[in-house]
Amino acid sequence: MIKILMLSGLLFILPQPSTGEDVPFFTNDNLKKYETPSGTVKQPSQDQSATKENAPESPTQFKNNGNGTVTDIETQFMWQQTDDGTERNWADATSYCEKLSLGGHGGWRLPTTEEFKTIIDPTRQNPAIDTTYFPKTKSAYYWTCATNGKVKSNAWVIGFQNGRMTSDFKTNKYYVRCVR
C-alpha cells in the first residue's frame, strides 16, 4: 500500500507498512518526487529522490504567529512552536496537550502520525524539521496520539533525528509537540 502526500506543490509517494516495525516516513529509498506545476505529473529518474543536494526550493510552508505558535499554511494546522523541554509518558502527554493554553487558544491535542508527517522535512536531519519555524526541536522522539493497533500498550512516536516512526510502551517518556 502507498500513501500520497502533497506539500508545496510536490507529491510525495510513501509506502505504508503493514506491520509495526520501525518505519521511515521519508528516506532516499522510498521517497519519489513528482512535480505538478502545470497540473501534470512527471515521474523523475530513479536517482532523483529527495536529498539535500537535489531538493527543490519551495515557498515557505509555515507562518510564525509570534505567540508561541506556527501555522502550516497548506494544512491550516496550528503547532506548538517549541516543546517545554519535559519528557512525559503517553497519558501525561495527552493530558498536557488537552490542558495547554497557548497563543490565546485552547483545543490542543497530540498530533496523529499523518499530521506529524506534514512538518517533517526530508531534506534535514538532527532535527528533521525547519528550525527557523520550530527552534529548539530536539533530535529525539515525540509522542503521537496513535495507539499501536497490534499492541495496545504501545503508541507511535516520531523521531526528529531522521523522521522515522516507531512504536513504544506508553509508559516510556518522550517529548511533546501539540497541534490544534
The pLDDT profile of the chain, 180 residues, written as one tens digit per residue, is 444 444 444 444 444 444 444 454 444 343 333 333 333 333 333 332 333 343 444 457 999 999 999 999 999 999 999 999 999 999 999 999 999 999 999 999 999 999 999 999 989 999 999 999 999 999 999 999 999 999 999 999 999 999 999 999 999 999 999 999
Task: Report yes or no on 15 lying in a domain.
Answer: no
Q: For position 17, what pLDDT does the model report?
A: 45
Task: Report yes or no on 64 lying in a domain.
Answer: yes
Task: Report yes or no on 36 lying in a domain.
Answer: no
Task: Report yes or no on 11 lying in a domain.
Answer: no
What is the domain count for the chain?
1
| Residues of the domain holding 120 | 59-169
Task: Report yes or no on 165 lying in a domain.
Answer: yes
Helix, strand, coil percentages, rounded to 5, for the chain: 10, 30, 60
For the chain, the first-to-last Cα distance in angstroms comes to 28
Residue 124: alpha-carbon gap to chain centroid:
12
Task: Report yes or no on 162 lying in a domain.
Answer: yes
Task: Report yes or no on 156 lying in a domain.
Answer: yes
In the chain, the amino acid numbered 61 is Q
What are the residues facing 142 on neighbouring strands? 158, 175
Task: Report yes or no on 175 lying in a domain.
Answer: no
